[in-house]
Amino acid sequence: MSGLDEDSVFDGDFGGPGPEDFANGAAALAAGLIREAQGLAQAAAALRSVAAPNAPGVPGGEPVSDIRRQRMVLHTAGEAAMRAALALDAAALLAESRAPAEQAARIAEAAKKVGLPPATLAPFLRSAALDFRTDDAAARIAASTLANDLCALLDAASS
């Protein structure tokens, strides 16, 4: 047996992620939300370009000819743009040092202002937690914990 008391290793100051790790985790989630917003904005722009009639002499595909299809494409582009804006708003809110409950409340309020359920952001938060671009294990745990807490709070706010 080693000279260390097994209980003393896991009590006291040793534990989960600390405040710095949660700050790094929140920053990583915000960066992930920005990446998600960028993808949504690109999708919205591509959809709008498909629905827009081409100017004479401009190379490109044929515009959507059926008005019903065009309405659907434009609606989908608008939804993607709103979700991108909401993801950017949530990223800005994550940058503020606040408790998860307060962050979730403010994100839910922003979602409701644009007519989307607060849980709309849950997949983006989970994706951002999974697309973690550092090897800082404590920050990764903090980001996953924060994303999980925010998703649960946003789901509760949606019901």
pLDDT tens digits for range 130-154? 988 878 889 999 999 999 999 999 9
Task: Tell me the pTM.
Answer: 0.79
Reported as a single tens digit per residue, the pLDDT across 31-41 is 999 999 999 99
Gap between the Cα atoms of 62 and 84, Å rounded: 27
In the 8-state DSSP scheme, what is residue 119?
G
Contact yes or no for 115/140 (Cβ under 8 A): no
What tokens does 122 get? 């849950």
CA–chain centroid gap for 74, Å, is 23
What residue spans define the domains of the chain? 20-53+62-158
